Amino acid sequence: MTTKLTYFDFDGSRGQECRIALRLCGVAFEDVRLSREQWAAAKPTTPYGAMPIFEHEGRKLAQSNAILRYLGASHGLHPQDPWTAAEHDAVMDSVEDLRNKLPGQGLSDEAKKTAREAFASGWLTQWGNTVSSRIRGPLLEGEAIHVADIKLYVIVRSLLSGTFDHIPPSLFDAWPALLAHQAAVAKRL
């Protein structure tokens, strides 16, 4: 059976998290990358109408956190202790919250600027404080990398890259643990 991961044709977001996890787990997989047009045609036939889609042993699984938890549990990249695993799940869910709360879709340039500046100084600052305090150093649980580290790495890397206008990368200077986390994950990739 072929193991396959299907996502959009770019190296970011939920698909990239799963690609990185598969590589760290040593799982050979077919990296299927869809254009927006291909996705529009395929969407009605997919689980939950969502990507990424992980196919393994004739089964399909959608939703990035579910895929990451499965890979992590199967390959030692998710904590075995139930409480610690739940803390990691909370970090992964908080990344999804960040993505869902990030303003910008359908807003005029001026409205987007105003909304993103408020987001950066409000919700994102609270998120950064909370997540940063959860890092045991240099990764979430010290030296061992887990799937939650990968998910956190991908979103923070995106924010630091300046991809999201009106959210200054310098905002992260307030969270040295998050910056150290980025460097520690990058070393392991």
DSSP 139: B
DSSP-based three-state secondary structure for 76: coil
Percentage, residues of the chain above pLDDT 90: 96
Nearest-5° Cα angle at 123, 116 to 9:
60
Q: What is the pLDDT of residues 106-160, one digit of tens each?
A: 899 999 999 999 999 999 999 999 999 999 999 999 999 999 999 999 999 999 9
Which pLDDT value is given to residue 105? 84
Residue 1 has pLDDT above 90, yes or no: no
CA distance readout (Å), 156 to 17, 31, 54, 127, 162: 12, 23, 23, 11, 10
The helix-helix angle for 123-134 and 176-188 (nearest 10°) equals 60
1 vs 170, residue with greater confidence: 170
Which pLDDT value is given to residue 163? 87
Instruction: Answer yes or no: are the C-beta atoms of 171 and 125 closer than 8 Å.
Output: yes
Which pLDDT value is given to residue 167? 94
Which pLDDT value is given to residue 2? 87
**How many C-beta atoms surround the C-beta of residue 82 within 10 A?**
8
Average pLDDT of 4-21?
Answer: 96
Q: What is the pLDDT of residues 45-82, one digit of tens each?
A: 999 999 999 999 999 999 999 999 999 999 999 999 99
Tokens of 101: 């709360």
> Domains plus CATH for the chain?
4-75 (3.40.30.10), 82-188 (1.20.1050.10)
Nearest-5° Cα angle at 122, 89 to 69:
10
